[in-house]
Each structure stands twice: as structure tokens, then as C-alpha cells.
Amino acid sequence: MKYKYYNDWEYKRAITIASTDPYRGAIELKEYLEKYPLDYTTYPYYISVLIVIGQFDTARENLDYIQTILESGVYKNDEKRNDILKYSILYSKFKLLCCEEKYKEAYDLYVANAKIIDNYDVNKIVYFLKIKLGLFEDNIEERAYLPYFYRQVIDYQESDFLHHAKKHCKDTLYGDDEAESEFVSGFPIEDVVSEIKKYIPSNRKLYHGFVDNTYFFKYDNCGSCDKKMINYIKVITFNDSNRIITMYPYLNGERFSYVDLNYMKVEDSPKVRRRSQIDKFNDRLMKSKKY
């Protein structure tokens, strides 16, 4: 058998699919691991995709399994692989607990393993956990000076979100702003936000982050990026809520499940029905019958 333990081509194909369609990607990775069960280093990626699509129970089952494999000493003679797998397991456990809103367990896991999993993303979420658990001293006078994310965790304000989102609006961009994408001039952001809230939270959410959900909406020609018109909006909310953290035009939204909001568009002038050749023929026929 040519590929006994892994197949690099099949693995790359599966993760490419997962990056654009996580639901299908989870199936592809599951089939890959059934074919190459000894490719233990693929499990962390499979688990991360399961978390993204909200399959928490299956993710936990695979975490328990790969934890057992690690403890069996499979990589006892390969310190680098052993450390990578250990880190991946702890990182996935931490994210899973956060997504499940088991904040106390997540914080305790971090405290016990801070030296292993501490990084920029984790460190930011730890502040979130401290706020949620009452371990962060909230000084109202200093709150306005906190970074946007922390202010919203402590006391969510939609006005603060709208101010943040309008940084992506062409009408409010400043010369030194470097928005990755921008809404077109005159984009009805407040009306769109109001409509979007009708659809969240819902089963369309993806758990791309630790404490937030991602949604995609279609709104043709809503923005641009690198001189390319964009037809999709990416919306990020706090876990299982319609408290929007940020939203901006997203170039490849068609890759994900989305809600089409194009029905919101209203023509400035009344729609004029175009007459077909058959209509014109019937008109001529009726006129001829009058005479």
C-alpha cells in the first residue's frame, strides 16, 4: 500500500474544502481519518472544524480519543510532535469550552496551562473571561479608554458598534484609514443592521472565534475591496446573541451559507414592465380589429 499512514494530497484537499465549506469539510476529514486513522496530527484540525460548525459533542469525543493517544506515548521519541499535539489538544479544549459558554472551566484550564497555550488570541479571550467571571475591575471613569472589544463585553452599546462599523463606510473613512473593505457611499447601514437582527441568532452561525459567532448576508454591490465590487456582508456577534461586534463587506461570502437581503432594495423610480414581442404583436392585432 503506497499511503499507509497518511496521504498529503488527500489531506490538503480536505482542508481546502473545509476552509470554504466547513460542513462538507468535516465530512471529508472524517472520511480521511477513517482511511488513515494513524495520522494523529490531522485530528486537531478535524476537531477545529467540528467546533466551527457547532458539533461540540463530536468534537469532545475526538478530543478525548486523541488525548488518550497522546498519553499512550505515541510520540515519546519525537518531542516536537508530542509538544505540538499537546498544545493543539489544550487549545481546542479551551476554545470548545468558550464556545459552549463554560467560562469558569475555560478560565481554570487556562490558569493550569498558561505556559503552554498563552498567545495573542488566547490572552485576549482571557480578559473576556475575567470580565464575565467578575475578575476584572470595572472602573466606569476609565471604561471609555478601554479598547472597543472590552467596552462592549462590559456594557454592550449598539451606538458604539455603529460607530465602529461606520469605519468601513466610504462616507466616513478618513484619509489615514486603511479599511480592508468598505461599504459603498450611501449604504443604509442602520436599516441593514435592523434587518440582520431578525436572522440572528440562528442555526446559520459558525463558531470561527472563541466567544463570537459569524454570519453571512448577501446584498449586491454593498461594498468594494481592491476595486472589486462585493456582494456579501460578514457579521460577527457575541455568542448566541444579536449583539453585533462588527460587520463589513466580505469578498468571498458565496462560499458560505448566507441570507439574501436583496429584497431590501427599493428602486428610486417605479418599475416599468418591459413589453415583449408577443405583447406588441397583440397590440397591433387589436388595433387592426378596430378598423
- Nine-digit cell at 254? 458565496
What kind and span of H or E run contains 84?
A: helix 79-99
Higher pLDDT, 106 or 127: 106
| Beta-bridge mates of residue 238 | 212
Q: pLDDT for 255-272, tens place per residue?
A: 888 999 999 986 544 444
Q: 44 CB contacts (<8 Å, ≥6 apart)? A: 66, 85, 88, 89, 91, 92
Cα separation, 250 vs 181, whole angstroms: 7
- Please give the model's pTM, rounded to 2 decimal places: 0.83
Alpha-carbon 262 to chain mean position: 21
Please classify residue 208 by burial: count the beta carbons closer than 10 Å to its beta carbon, then call 0-12 exposed, 13-18 middle and 19+ buried.
middle
8-132 folds as 1.25.40
CA distance readout (Å), 245 to 173, 220, 267: 19, 22, 30
The reply to whether omega before 201 is within 30° of 0 (cis) is yes
Any idea where the domains of the chain sit in the sequence? 8-132, 156-264
Beta strands (DSSP E) in 73-211 are 182-183
Q: pLDDT for 169-188, tens place per residue?
A: 866 544 334 457 899 989 99
Q: How many CB atoms lie within 10 A of CB 201?
A: 16
- Beta 212-225 vs 259-260: how paired, if at all? parallel
CA dihedral 43, 48, 54, 58 (to 10 degrees): 20
Q: Which residue carries 479598547 as its cell?
A: 147
Cα separation, 146 vs 263, whole angstroms: 38
pLDDT at 283 (0 to 100): 58
For the chain, the average pLDDT equals 86
